Amino acid sequence: MPVAGALVLVTAVSVLLRTGALHDGFWIDEGIAVGIASHDLADIPRLLRLDGSPPLYYLLLHGWMALFGDSEAAARALSLVFVAITVPVSWWAGTAVAGRRAGAIAAALAAGCPLLSYYGQEARMYTLVALLSVVAAAAFVLGRRVTLAGALVLLLYTHTWGLFLAAALAVVWIALWRAGRVAGRDGALVAVAVAALYAPWVPSLAFQALHTGAPWSVSPSALLLAAAVLPALFAWRARNEAVRLLALIGAVGFVLAWLGSQLEPAWSGRYLAVLYGPAALALAGATARRAPVVVVAALALLVVPLPAKSNVRAVAVSTGINLRPGDLVISTQPEQVPVLQRYLPGGLTYLTPAGAPPDPAVMDWRDALRRLRAGSPRLTPLHAGQRIVLVTAILEARSPWARAVRRGTREWRAALRADPRLRRLGTTSRPDPRRFRSTVRAALYVVK
């Protein structure tokens, strides 16, 4: 009972301290997620062929919003539920792997982890990814085949980077089998079960790999390898064999993800949530002898300040007051459209350098970089009194996508300023990009 009470208290405190940003405006990815999840349940897998993600989180979010609504706090609360579950699950996993001290540290890490704090207040799948990663990592070292297969299948249907954790587990399993420490039949059964259950999604995955990708990403630097190797070496010194295996799984998964992103840039730090399980459990086991210090340090992370997500809602509210059905919104960053259409009045027409989106609630990533580069400023027929909003993003990234967006921004801005049919009414203030994860400004025009 004392353990259960402590877990309830730690979980409750961690949840309460992770609610400060629940009511903030959505940013790009959240607008896309909520837009997709707002469609009919049967349409979601088809729409995700345009997006690049697996369907599980979106299906869960659809059901969640049907019960609790699609406000910012309601949509994000689902992620907070996964965080709350991760705390006691981490205690169970850490205890089963390396004892009760390790369990306490694992629970404290889940309660204080800034990654879980940030994504626990975001309508995205990363806290579910972290939860399933903990279950899969623990099940692997504990030899629980059914649990392992189930966790891996759910993880793969939640985020494609689950393939890197699955591959890391396979590499370590093969090494153990060749050393005569595990039965090859067990690994084969898990692999067959996971492959069979994941097979229905493979055609969609292949289509996404060919047509969506991550044009906004860049290849990670070699320095990042140290971020995986050094902590893994520290954990490798632990006497507990399970802890050493977890450190090895985390390092192998990181290296595989790094190598994969060298071949096809698709790197994002948040994707490493797939390796949260082996990393957190290895750290908990390696530092079990220093449990009080590590627990206090982990819980202290709850007060680490986190960046704001976006200023889109504020910009949309300030410009939307003057808009009427039939007015035109041009977003030079196409993926901003789903969140813009959420906050702007209904009945507007949307346009991007990549073309007019058939469904403003969904971002079509199919061959998006090619379409963005091929686009040029072309205004549809205009009528007197019609208002035009040019929404431009402030991007500092160096990816091919960011460069194309900046070029499109320059072209559209110049075209609108030079168009004799238009009169400029004003521009919103330029936000500080250091304060937000995603920033935009808007310029308002009217047709003479």
pLDDT of residue 74: 98
Query: In terms of domains, do 262 and 175 share one?
Result: yes
Query: In terms of domains, do 150 and 294 share one?
Result: yes
Q: How many domains does the chain have?
A: 2
Query: In terms of domains, do 106 and 167 share one?
Result: yes
Query: In terms of domains, do 296 and 324 share one?
Result: no
Domain end: 275, 306, 337, which one?
Answer: 306
217, 259, 447 from 266: Cα distances, Å: 5, 10, 42
Q: Among 99, 82, 97, 113, which residue's Cα sits nearest to residue 295?
A: 113
Domain end: 306, 334, 367, which one?
Answer: 306
Q: Among 396, 405, 392, which residue's Cα sits nearest to residue 440?
A: 392
Query: In terms of domains, do 302 and 321 share one?
Result: no
Supply the DSSP symbol for 70: S
Query: In terms of domains, do 366 and 261 share one?
Result: no
Query: In terms of domains, do 286 and 397 share one?
Result: no
The whole domain housing 269 covers: 2-306
Q: What is the pTM of this model?
A: 0.94
pLDDT of residue 433: 67
Query: In terms of domains, do 108 and 163 share one?
Result: yes
pLDDT of residue 77: 98
pLDDT of residue 304: 73
pLDDT of residue 327: 96
Q: How many Å apart are CA 293 and CA 285, to the nearest integer? A: 14
Query: In terms of domains, do 244 and 194 share one?
Result: yes
Helix (H) or strand (E) holding 67: helix 56-68
The two three-digit tokens of residue 311, written as one number: 């200023």
The two three-digit tokens of residue 349, written as one number: 């027409």
Q: How many Å apart are CA 49 and CA 197, to the nearest integer? A: 19
Domain end: 272, 306, 340, which one?
Answer: 306
Query: In terms of domains, do 82 and 167 share one?
Result: yes
Query: In terms of domains, do 274 and 421 share one?
Result: no
Exposure string for 148-166, b = 16+ CB within 10 A, e = fewer: bbbbbbbbbbbbbbbbbbb
Over residues 326-375, the pLDDT tens digits come to 999 999 999 999 999 999 999 999 999 999 999 999 999 999 999 999 98
- Taking 50 as the pLDDT cut, the residues of the chain under it are none
Query: In terms of domains, do 201 and 264 share one?
Result: yes
